[in-house]
Amino acid sequence: MRLGIIGAGRVGASFVLAFPSAVEGILCSTAEHTQEQAARLHATAYTDGADLIRHCDVLLLTVRDDVLAPVSRELAASLKGERQLSDRCVFHCSGAMDLSPLEALASLGIHTGSIHPLQSFAEPSAERLKGIYMAVDGDEQARGGAENIVRTLGSTPFFVPPEERMLYHAAACFCSNYVVTALALAQQLMRRWTESDGDAAKALMPLVDGTLQNVRERKVWRTALTGPVSRGDAGTVVKHLAVMPAELIHPYCAFGRAAADLALKNETITAQQHDELTRILAMAEGVHHEQKSNQSDH
């Protein structure tokens, strides 16, 4: 396999690190960035995407979702009229997008598909591509090629229907982005009683680790739920809301309602307790919304 990558950010660079001997070259958004990344990754810098495709069997487009289609059209325009493109595969690495952004390339006979690592990349890492699940799609040849790439990494390919890609991506956001959001809000509160953000993180980390361990030990993650909502402790929730900073009322109530629904499914609270909790949270959020509206009127 000769691998080319357009958009060597954290995900693209991770693939470079995972297949160092197979990488033909990379291309980034600017010549300067391309040279910097090529030097850092010990890869060949390309200045033309069409030329990179000509020298590759597989091309990964690891660019932002909103530029996938324009990049595809630009590449297709440069390759129009060329022969022997039917042995090429081009994959995007978006979790949310179907294959429609690659239609311009598919019209030239290039096999198109997608490979989305179900993973978070704070920085480039070959190891983070290994032993995970990756959503794959494509025509028959592209999908087969995608599955081979994923299995070569020791990971598991699986299929998400195109019409459900957005829902799949939302699931990933809950598991990663919103977990970080919840942790960052907790750190923001804890910072009031510690000397630094680092100390706040250090204080909370055992709780975070313990929670993740509880999750790891269960196949049904909702059963790891603990805390006042899981017990139906409405009094504590009321007291939380009474001292909660105004900017955190909305997220607290949103998380609280979701937690109450999970607790009901876990059968750790009754329907009556669930109704009481959701009523308290709705009232608190309603009062907060009304106060904000009144403030904006003055």
Helix (H) or strand (E) holding 119: none
Tell me: the pLDDT tens digits for 251-281? 999 999 999 999 999 999 999 999 999 999 9
* In a shared domain, residues 107 and 46: yes
Average confidence (pLDDT) over 147-174: 96
Shared domain for 136 and 187, answered yes or no, is no
Point out the domain boundary residue: 127, 160, 193: 160
Query: Is the pLDDT confidence value at 100 over 70?
Result: yes
Same domain, yes or no: 187 and 275? yes
Residue 286: its pLDDT value, please? 81
Residues 218 and 116 in one domain: no
Q: Are residues 134 and 193 in the same domain?
A: no
- 120 is in which domain, residue-wise? 3-160
Q: Which helix (H) or strand (E) holds 52?
A: helix 49-54
How many of the other CB atoms lie within 10 Å of CB of 192? 8
User: Would you list the DSSP string of 228-277?
Assistant: HHHHT-HHHHHHHHHHS-HHHHHHHHHHHHHHHHHHHHHTSS-HHHHHHH
What is the rounded CA–CA span in Å between residue 79 and residue 51?
A: 9
Based on the domain organization, do 177 and 212 belong to the same domain? yes
CATH number, residue 38? 3.40.50.720
Please report the pLDDT score of residue 283 as a whole number.
93
Same domain assignment for residues 119 and 253: no
Confidence category of residue 296, pLDDT binned at 50, 70, 90: low
- Which of 126, 160, 194 is where one domain is finished? 160
Contact 285, 278 (CB under 8 A): no
What integer pLDDT is reported at residue 122 of this predicted model?
86
Helix (H) or strand (E) holding 98: none
**pLDDT (tens digit, 9 = 90+) per residue, 105-121?**
999 999 999 999 999 99
Residue ending a domain, among 97, 132, 160, is: 160
Distance (Å, rounded) from C-alpha 225 to C-alpha 8?
Answer: 39
Interval 55-61 mean pLDDT? 96
Per-residue confidence band for 82, with pLDDT thresholds at 50, 70 and 90: confident
Total domains in the fold of the chain: 2
Residue 144 and residue 187 in one domain: no
* pTM for the structure as a whole: 0.86
